Amino acid sequence: MPEYTSRSASQLAADGPLLADEHAIDPHASAASRRGQSDDIRQALRDEPADGPTRQAAASAGDRDEGAPAEPQFLELGGGTHTVPPGGNLWRIAEEIYGDGSLYVLLRDANPDDVHDGGRLVYAGAVLDVPRIARPMLDGLAAFSDDPERQLDVVSGVSQEDYAAFIAGLTAEEADANAEMLQTLEMMRASGMTLDQLAEDQQRWMETRAAAEGLSIGGFIQQETAARGYGGATATWWPSLTPDEQRAWTARFEAAVAAVEAAAPDDIRAILDEATANGGGFAWEPQVCEELGAFAFNNGRHALGVGRAWVEAVETDPAVTFGNVAHELSGHQEYGDTVGWAIISRVLANLPADEQALARGGANHIFSAYGYMETEVFAELREQEHLHPDNPTDTPAQDVPRQLQRIADAFSPTVADAIVRGLWRRVESSPHMTDEARQLFVEQVRAVFGIAL
């Protein structure tokens, strides 16, 4: 089985010359370039003198300027031996051990007596020597993204100290670009489970609660969605208007949009420009807003869906709605899909067809009861810097703890804990969050869950 350990750059350097079977791969290289690096490594394995190469992995901490970012962290992958399973080949074994099939050349060259036909053939039962390599931790963890169980093994093997140093050493750009993966890794480390395993835990918890109430799991989900979800309201105002009245309100909407665009500060202007570039912007959705009971909403197509209350607010003061723009078109848009919904979707997929139909049979949307809370917390925090006293929806101090409590109520303790810790990784790494917003989240998580982040 593959072995995983972690070391910092200075630890690698402090060890003196790298051992002949320890080599670093550039995480930013293309696949073709990595193959070239593999050739370099293969040659190094042959050519390094007994006292090792003179190069070092990185400068030690003492060589860097005070205040410089934390030093890079590395994963050590491989080492020991590996028995070839039936149907195994070097590419698959390299993927399993190193997260990169192109590194099969290391296995090939380290085992000349067990590899045949120019490296294309290896027999089941052969015991291969596995060279140890060092990969930058971000690259190494990302390499296992398509194999969650292996990724869990790898990230769980990193000490808390080393993982904290890894997170601290990420640039803002790296943290932002890898936000969803870092969220998943945080959940894995907190729970010791993959998303599939968390879904199994959630399903068992729901089945236990359903049985206690004399319900099937589908009936339980429908009941919880009716109690905790929303979206099933009937619109009455908009359909009651005459065509002339509807046209007049549409004209008021268009004037309101022009007023917001004219008054928008630079950061709100940038959000609107990006939405427009993606085919969105503002959308007149009075009936949907009434059905959702929403002041405004993200329609999933880079557009801010608005209704009557939004238009009336803009007519009072366009600045009232800047927080909604940041909330819907930046917060929700940046957060994307939620892991809570991914977990519930797995639960639903595991149910018989009749139970799935029962779970989905209510008037309210299941997503609103199980998937919405994370992205709403994130969006509430995102609008923190644009709070306006005349906007009735600008209440992060009340809404964040309310949504956190909904997470606690909707999920098993293990799953809820993992979701909140993963959500913190997203909040912490977002370049758009203020320190005040992050502090609000930390305080409310402590209040609702008793977790010190």
Q: Confirm whether 188 is domain-assigned.
A: no
Please write down the HEC assignment for all residues of the chain.
CCCEEEEEHHHHHHCCCCCCCCCECCCCCCHHHHHHHHHHHHHHHHHCCCCCCCCCCCCCHHHCCCCCCCCCEEEEECCCEEECCCCCCHHHHHHHHHCCHHHHHHHHHHCCCCEEHHHCEECCCCEEECCCEEEEHHHHHHCCCCCHHHHHHHHHCCCHHHHHHHHHHCCHHHHHHCHHHHHHHHHHHHHCCCHHHHHHHHHHHHHHHHHHCCCCHHHHHHHHHHHHCCCCCCCCHHHHCCHHHHHHHHHHHHHHHHHHHHHCCHHHHHHHHHHHHCCCEEEECHHHHHHHCCCEEECCCCEEEECHHHHHHHHHCHHHHHHHHHHHHHHHHHHCCCHHHHHHHHHHHHCCHHHHHHHCCCCCCHHHHHCHHHHHHHHHHHCHHHCCCCCCCCCHHHHHHHHHHHHHHHCCHHHHHHHHHHHHHHHHHCCCCCHHHHHHHHHHHHHHHCCCC
Residues 292 and 403 in one domain: yes
Residue 41 domain-assigned? yes
Which pLDDT does position 44 carry in this prediction? 37
Q: Is residue 220 part of a domain?
A: yes
pLDDT at 411: 98
183 in a structural domain: no
Q: Note whether 160 and 221 are same-domain residues.
A: no
Of 169, 188, 205, the residue at which a domain comes to its end is 169
pLDDT along the chain (453 residues), means of 10: 52 40 38 42 36 29 41 86 93 93 94 85 94 94 94 94 94 94 97 98 98 98 94 90 98 98 96 95 96 90 95 95 94 95 98 97 93 96 89 86 98 98 96 95 98 93
Same domain, 83 and 122: yes
**Residue 131 shares a structural domain with residue 213:** no
Same domain? For 97 and 240 the reply is no
- Domain presence at residue 186: no
In the chain, the number of structural domains is 2
Tell me whether residue 420 is in a domain: yes
Last residue of a domain, one of 153, 169, 185: 169
Q: Are residues 375 and 265 in the same domain?
A: yes
Reported pTM = 0.81
Shared domain for 160 and 206, answered yes or no, is: no
pLDDT value at residue 417? 98
User: Is 231 in the same domain as 150?
Assistant: no
Residue 139 shares a structural domain with residue 229: no
156: containing domain = 4-169
Residue 187: inside a domain: no
Kindly state whether residue 159 falls inside one of the protein's structural domains.
yes
Q: Both 136 and 212 in a single domain? A: no
Output the pLDDT for position 174: 94
Considering the domain architecture, whether residues 157 and 294 belong to the same structural domain is answered as: no
pLDDT, position 69: 52
pLDDT at 39: 44
Distance of alpha carbon 53 from alpha carbon 20, whole angstroms: 8
> Domain check: are 348 and 390 in the same one?
yes
Q: What is the pLDDT of residue 120?
A: 74
